[in-house]
Amino acid sequence: MYKLRVGISACLLGAQVRFDGGHKRSAFCTQELAQHVEFVPLCPEMGLGLGSPRPAIRLVRQGEGIAAVTSQGGEDLTAPLLAVSQQAMPGMADLSGYILCAKSPSCGMERVRVYGPRGGIKEGVGLFAQTLLTTYPLLPVEEEGRLQDPALRENFILRLFAYHSWQQLMGDGPSPARLIAFHARYKYLLMSHSPDAYARLGRLLGQMQGRPLEAVAAEYIQQLMPALRQLASRAGHSNVLQHLQGYFKRVLSAPQKQELASLIEQYRLGLLPLLAPLTLLRHYLREYPNAYLAQQIYLNPYPDTLKLRTFL
């Protein structure tokens, strides 16, 4: 069994590594997600040997580029911070995701303040974060602040577990049959995010005969991860729920069909969370087993204890 390992800014786990000697402990990461993943903490600024507390670092515009300098004294730390970031990259090849500290000049993923002649503008990316995103463009990456949004949190965790499943497939040794089986399991999850991507990936696998398997696998994951990053809409989920409902049309009574259809419609209208029709569908699946439906990742994309679909 392959461990689901997630990189994380060390301050989010409560380590007192910030410039002011404090931390930014994330309750979600430490209390909920930690039950399901192995965290790999890192603070690139501590990797510079600066200690904590230390002078704050700022991103400063210099001509066409951006430099990382200390707010006191103006020491330019751009080169050493980039070197520390690059040195850390090879050890992250087996990670399934990464959670970054927002607003940090090293770890901020977006809208980091960049200082110039007219003051600070929230337009930058931390130097470590930029290195990570460039080196591993398919890796699920998110900031802890954005994880407060229920939709963004659910999407990140979904991609985290999907990418881990792909890593397991690659680690076990891919084959045409295994790629097709993987695609079959992810059918409805992918359809809820992008029906077009599901169709494109199906065509890719249908035309892989004669092509190098490694090239097909690389093209598959390069399309899968961006597709899953698209937030699934209520319309997308409703469409999938109606497809799943069709598997029970011959076994449910008229009142049961009406109840399920009503829950799906209430979800579509925003009156119920996604968990309501899903719970009934999973109940019917236990009562009327269907092997193909049981394998669908859409029904159980991550542990229920994370309670991610309660607010969708």
pLDDT tens-digit series, residues 146-156: 999 999 999 99
* Whether pLDDT at 269 is above 50: yes
Residue type, 26: S
Residues 100-143 pLDDT 10s: 999 999 999 999 999 987 778 899 999 999 999 999 999 999 99
Query: Phi and psi at residue 84, in whole multiples of 5°?
Result: -60, -40
Q: What is the pLDDT of residues 209-261, one digit of tens each?
A: 999 999 999 999 999 999 999 999 999 999 999 999 999 999 999 999 999 99
Predicted pLDDT at 92: 96
pTM: 0.95
Angle between the N-to-C axes of helices 213-229 and 150-172, in degrees from 0 to 180, rounded to the nearest 10: 170
pLDDT tens figures, 177-206: 999 999 999 999 999 999 999 999 999 999
In the chain, pLDDT over 70 holds for what percent of residues? 99
Under the banding of pLDDT at 50, 70 and 90, the label for residue 30 is: very high
pLDDT in the model for residue 2: 62
Alpha-carbon gap, residue 298 to 278, rounded angstroms: 10
pLDDT of residue 33 exceeding 80, the answer is: yes
Go through 106-117 and write b for each residue having 16 or more CB atoms within 10 A of its CB, e for each that does not: bbbbbebebbee
Please report how many Cα atoms fall inside a 13 Å half-sphere around the Cα of residue 278, on the Cβ side: 22
* 41: exposed, middle or buried (Cβ count in 10 Å: 0-12, 13-18, 19+): middle
pLDDT tens-place string over residues 89-98: 999 999 999 9
Among 215, 235, 236, 238, which residue's Cα sits nearest to residue 227? 236
The angle, 0 to 180 degrees and rounded to 10, between the axes of the packed helices 275-287 and 234-246 is 20
Task: Give 50 or 169, the one with higher predicted confidence.
Answer: 169
Contact 267, 276 (CB under 8 A): yes
pLDDT of 3 above 90 = no
The pLDDT, as a whole number, for residue 1 is 47
Confidence of residue 298 (pLDDT cuts 50, 70, 90): very high
